[in-house]
A and B are shown apart, each in its own frame.
Chain A
Amino acid sequence: AQTVTQSQPEMSVQEAETVTLSCTYDTSESNYYLFWYKQPPSRQMILVIRQEAYKQQNATENRFSVNFQKAAKSFSLKISDSQLGDTAMYFCAFMRGGSQGNLIFGKGTKLSVKP
């Protein structure tokens, strides 16, 4: 069975600064995908970034980047130049390759960006 662990229930950061959210996972699979989703107070789950396990290069999307350490089973999210709109719950998620979108989520990290 796969598990996803987010060890930081809450974090805060000043606007324009950089923050890193941690995620570790456990799996015996070799083919899998990792995601970071954001859930603001509006409730909608929004995909922030995805990483294919077979790719060594870390994914980046504008101000968002990941540090994917496959051997350590670590998948942290770095948010640069934090903005007030980044305030949200952030979920790390695992999906086994070839599965039908069965996402396994971590418990989430509540991020507050302060002006």
Chain B
Amino acid sequence: DTEVTQTPKHLVMGMTNKKSLKCEQHMGHRAMYWYKQKAKKPPELMFVYSYEKLSINESVPSRFSPECPNSSLLNLHLHALQPEDSALYLCASSQGGQRLNTEAFFGQGTRLTVV
């Protein structure tokens, strides 16, 4: 199984809503990532979790709150978003640990629209 599964695939939310994006992998990977991708742009790293601990936060606004409940799951909690936060949110995982240099496997993303 080489899949990273993200739910939901599409999400429309108002600026006062609270929602969560979910990501799951069963490859035994110990590093998981959130990337944000605006239309016709490359992905930009938001957060990195290593062994369920947040190791990198790329100065992301606090209205985005990541959570890693266990080694297979990664959530991104959303609150009070702005229309400019509309984007494709990609989850990825890699082996992590001593094997820091292995490639990342990506999910299909959640297309988020903030209205």
Q: A95-B101, A103-B43 are in contact. Are A46 and B106 (CB under 8 A)?
A: yes
CA distance A95 to B44 in the complex (A): 13
CA distance A3 to B50 in the complex (A): 25
A46-B106, A52-B101 given; 14 more Cβ-contact pairs under 8 Å: A44-B107, A47-B103, A50-B103, A91-B43, A97-B101, A99-B100, A100-B31, A100-B96, A101-B96, A101-B100, A102-B45, A103-B45, A103-B104, A106-B42
Please give the number of chain B residues whose Cβ is less than 8 angstroms from any Cβ of chain A in the complex: 27
A contact residues around B101 at 8 Å (CB): 33, 52, 95, 97-98
Q: What are the interface flags for B24-49 relative to A under an 8 Å C-beta threshold, 1 for contact and 0 otherwise?
A: 00000001010000001111110010
Q: A45-B92, A100-B100 are in contact. Are A108 and B56 (CB under 8 A)?
A: no
Contact B106 A101 (CB under 8 A): no
Prevailing SS type, chain A contact patch: loop
Contact A44 B109 (CB under 8 A): yes
A contact residues around B88 at 8 Å (CB): 43
Closest residue of chain B to A105 (Cβ to Cβ) is B42
Please give the number of chain A residues whose Cβ is less than 8 angstroms from any Cβ of chain B in the complex: 24
* A–B pairs, 11, beta carbons within 8 Å: A37-B106, A44-B106, A47-B104, A47-B105, A99-B100, A100-B31, A100-B56, A101-B100, A102-B56, A103-B104, A105-B44
**Chain A contact residues, CB within 8 Å of chain B:** 33, 35, 37, 42-47, 50, 52, 91, 95, 97-103, 105-108
Contact B33 A44 (CB under 8 A): no
